[in-house]
Amino acid sequence: MSNFKISVRQFGVHAILVEWPNKVEESILDEILQFIQYLKKNQLSEKEWEFVPAYNSLTLICKDTVLDFDYFKPKLKEWYTLIEKVSLAPRYLWRLPVSYDLEFGLDLQEISSQLGLEVERLIELHSNSIYTVYGIGFLPGFMYLGGVPEALEVPRKSTPRSKVTKGSVGLAGKQTGIYPQDSPGGWNIIGKCPVPMFNVKNESPCFVTVGDKIQFYPISMAEYQLHKIEAEVGIYNIEKIVLDA
């Protein structure tokens, strides 16, 4: 039996929104991923449907046709009771290098004084934590990561930057993440990751999937430059560890 009660609602004529309790919890995310896996395997073809998970919701989007919501509502509730029979797709812990050099960590010194933490301690806390990918959105390859230690919670900048450069690692509130492309942004910038989060030339353009985990590890400026070149020519191997389902 599944653990949570879900609600199934119509979202326009091409999509259905399935929602779990309004909480950020790994057990909820696990059930969402299990439900996706079950639906893909048994009920809804990936040719016709898109599956967008985020925190406590799953949005099912149908390619062309107008959905018969009255058909799908009871069906989805019924299918949800059957999810235990599927095993989850493998999940990964991705270890991503970050240079916390002050040249990249534009706001490191400022938030270090705001938080009352030495820069070294701040970097240690940020890179010792393991973060869960609760969603991908906002920009192609932008991860919503959960698991920021309380000691690192810092408000977003009062004035957003009109341009945050690609690869910048940001910190704001309970969230941290990497800007996958140049973009306006209001997060505090603490470093830069040389590994592109999104590459259209790859068969799978974004290596991370919702449910994966991320850990950052500090590298020097020289290592950053090296990895950046390796990534550009396509020989950088991202460190990954298979997680137990």
Partner 1 sequence: MLNILKSGFFTTVQDTGRFGYRDKGVPVAGIMDSYSTSKVNTLLENDPNCAVLEITMTGPQLQFDEDTYIVLGGAEMSVTLNDIALENYKVYQVKSGDILNYGKLEKGFRAYLGIKDGFNTEAVLGSRSFFKPITEKDSIKKMGDLPYTTCKLFNPKISQLKVDSVLDKSVLEVYKGPEYKLLTDNQLGKLFYREFSVANENNRMAYQLNETIEENKVSMLTSATLPGTVQLTPSGKLIVLMKDGQTTGGYPRILQLSDMAMSILAQKRSGDHIKFKLK
- Binding site residues, partner 1, CB under 8 A: 9-15, 17, 19, 22, 24, 46, 50-57, 59, 61, 63, 134-142, 144, 180-181, 198, 200, 205-206, 209-210
CB of residue 52 to partner 1, shortest distance in Å = 4
User: Which CB sits closer to partner 1, 2 or 181?
Assistant: 181
Q: Hey, how many other C-beta atoms are within 10 angstroms of the C-beta on 136?
A: 23
Q: CA–CA separation, 53 vs 33, rounded Å?
A: 8
**35 CB burial (10 A radius; 0-12, 13-18, 19+):** buried
User: Which CB sits closer to partner 1, 127 or 175?
Assistant: 175
Asked whether the beta carbons of 141 and 205 are under 8 A apart, the reply is: yes
CB of residue 147 to partner 1, shortest distance in Å = 15
Pairing type for strands 15-19 and 213-219 reads unpaired
CB of residue 211 to partner 1, shortest distance in Å = 11
Q: CA–CA separation, 86 vs 155, rounded Å?
A: 40
User: Which CB sits closer to partner 1, 100 or 134?
Assistant: 134
What's the gap between Cα 61 and its chain centre? 20
User: Which CB sits closer to partner 1, 74 or 173?
Assistant: 173
User: Which CB sits closer to partner 1, 105 or 180?
Assistant: 180
User: Which CB sits closer to partner 1, 32 or 190?
Assistant: 32
CB of residue 24 to partner 1, shortest distance in Å = 7
- What lies within 8 Å, CB to CB, of 41 at 6+ separation is 86
User: Which CB sits closer to partner 1, 53 or 105?
Assistant: 53
CB of residue 117 to partner 1, shortest distance in Å = 27
161-191-224-95 Cα dihedral, nearest 10 degrees: -120
List C-alpha distances in Å: 190 to 123, 162, 169. Answer: 8, 17, 6
CB of residue 204 to partner 1, shortest distance in Å = 8
- What lies within 8 Å, CB to CB, of 190 at 6+ separation is 100, 105, 107, 108, 111, 122, 123, 126, 169, 170, 171
Which pair of structure tokens corresponds to residue 75?
């069906």
CB of residue 79 to partner 1, shortest distance in Å = 19
